[in-house]
Structure 1
């Protein structure tokens, strides 16, 4: 239950920061920091870590979040580019091809990132908790993607 409620709070994290005017960036940074802290609390409350596990896990978690933020930025730029073309009705076949290529590249990058982190997580956690953490991340990502799917119109 905590995971479900918390994910609703966290899912905005991937959306925050994209296309924000300079005047609102300070406030948005505060909000992003709050959401990151809420996500960390959500993960902590669902991981059931022992003190010895937590010492190794949290540095890996922070590194993972940093790499995930870079992927989120790519997604944000892709959505901004698509939104501009969609609103201006300037989405050509060439632009659509580039959109698809970047979309697939982002998905591959995210899968590659997860693959790279499994051994890092296995060094600091038992296998069941590695699976649990990746499940938590996958649930959060699924909610974010669900929200994006509802918000981003189909190409025309």
Structure 2
């Protein structure tokens, strides 16, 4: 094989390896994102099942409740996503008093917005359900989150125990 041909083959292989590494990385990243989305969907389905069981809705109540709850959940999730985005932006900044105060003000703003959403939807839920069931909505959400956090912590602790020699 001639020297030119060998150099050309090495050049092509080098080029392909440079192209394939980012492609493999992108494919792996897409797969991880799809996996994370599937896990989120599964958790959301479990949460809805838990809330449904806790509220013990009649078929008439369920028919009216779930569309309103879906809108409520969407608003809450949008607020949480915005909060997370802004926190990431602030994370890269130096922690001066001015930045800390801005972060605190933003956090209080998110808490205020969350309270506004819950207050507004409380009124909507009260049109559909009796007060005791409306109270159970928020309680059930808190209990479900606490249960998920507990399970994740237990799994993490179990993994750490298995890794010890």
TM-score tier, shorter chain, comes to 0.5 to 0.7
Q: Give 1:110 deviation, angstroms.
A: 0.4
Alignment partner, residue 104 of structure 2: 100
Residue by residue over 1:89-118, the C-alpha shift from the partner in whole angstroms, topping out at 9 and shown as x without a partner, is x21112111110110000000000001001
> CA separation in 2, counterparts of 1:57 and 1:94?
44
Change over 3 Å in CA distance of 1:104–1:144 after alignment to 2: farther
Give the TM-score normalised by structure 1.
0.68
Q: Does 1:44 align with 2:57?
A: no
Alignment partner, residue 19 of structure 2: none
Give the TM-score normalised by structure 2.
0.64
Give matches, 1:104-123, under 5 Å: 104-123=108-127
Change over 3 Å in CA distance of 1:42–1:60 after alignment to 2: same
Q: Give 1:75 deviation, angstroms.
A: 2.9
Structure 1, unaligned runs of 5 or more: 1-20, 147-156
Higher helix share: 2
Residue by residue over 1:131-156, the C-alpha shift from the partner in whole angstroms, topping out at 9 and shown as x without a partner, is 1112223445677899xxxxxxxxxx
Change over 3 Å in CA distance of 1:82–1:70 after alignment to 2: same
Higher Cα Rg, which structure? 2
Alignment partner, residue 131 of structure 1: 135
- The count of aligned residue pairs is 122
> CA separation in 1, counterparts of 2:108 and 2:149?
14
Q: Is the 8 A contact 1:68 1:110 kept in 2?
A: yes
> CA separation in 2, counterparts of 1:62 and 1:43?
12
Q: Give 1:45 deviation, angstroms.
A: 1.2
Structure 2, unaligned runs of 5 or more: 1-27, 151-165
